[in-house]
Structure 1
Amino acid sequence: MIYKTELSNDFQTIIPPEIRNKFKISPGDQIEWIISNNGVKLKFRKKVSIDEVFGIIDSESDAVELKRKVQRGDKF
């Protein structure tokens, strides 16, 4: 399925509701723009709070690296 949107004068656009619903996108989420030779790929990332990751960190973990993994959406 192809969806088209228009850019505003401020270079903003609206994500179609079908895409928002399918990927559970909500305000505050981030979009990664991945450039390739064939075009651009978008990746949606949830904004994660420390409360959401609390309890998955053990005492031997590197907190900075864990935060990076969470921000990238990596599994651990």
Structure 2
Amino acid sequence: MGETTRVTDKGQTTIPKDLRERYGIEPGDEVEWIGTEDGLAVKKRSRLGGYGSFADGVDESDRERLVDKLESDLYESRRTEWSVE
């Protein structure tokens, strides 16, 4: 059976700890709310969602490393570009 949480006035709810741990949901992760014929489904979004189809065919662990590398490179380029000498 499922678990029950309450929705706040701001429309927020808490994902139960055991479900966060089971599905690897961490702070900052995005979840997708999907309307179905039976109600709602919640799905953890891939961190590669915005990177397009160039990552098709790459397994999940390689995708995570790829995203980490892309984000690190982007951060470093922005830091270097905006640093004051």
TM-score by length of 1: 0.60
Name the residue aligned to 2:22: 22
Judging by fraction of residues, say which structure has more strand: 1
Judging by fraction of residues, say which structure has more helix: 2
- For structure 2, the residue ranges without an aligned partner over 5 or more in a row are 58-85
**Aligned residue pairs, count:** 55
Q: Give the ranges of 4+ consecutive aligned residues of structure 1 lying more than 6 Å apart after TM superposition.
A: none
The 1-side partners of 2:41 and 2:19 are apart by 14
Q: 1:29 to 1:47 in 2, by over 3 A?
A: same
What do residues 42-67 of structure 1 show as CA deviations (whole Å, max 9, x unaligned)? Answer: 1112435xxxxxxxxxxxxxx74226
- For structure 1, the residue ranges without an aligned partner over 5 or more in a row are 49-62, 70-75
Which of structures 1 and 2 has the larger relative contact order (alpha carbons within 8 angstroms, sep 6+)?
Answer: 1
Name the residue aligned to 2:76: none
**Aligned-pair Cα RMSD in Å:** 2.0
The answer on whether the counterparts of 1:32 and 1:43 sit within 8 Å (CA) in structure 2 is: yes
Match status 1:43 vs 2:43: yes
State the identity as a percent. Answer: 31
The one-letter code sitting in structure 1 at the alignment partner of 2:6 is E
TM-score by length of 2: 0.54
Could you say what secondary structure the match of 2:21 adopts? helix
Offset at 1:12?
0.5
The answer on whether the counterparts of 1:32 and 1:45 sit within 8 Å (CA) in structure 2 is: yes
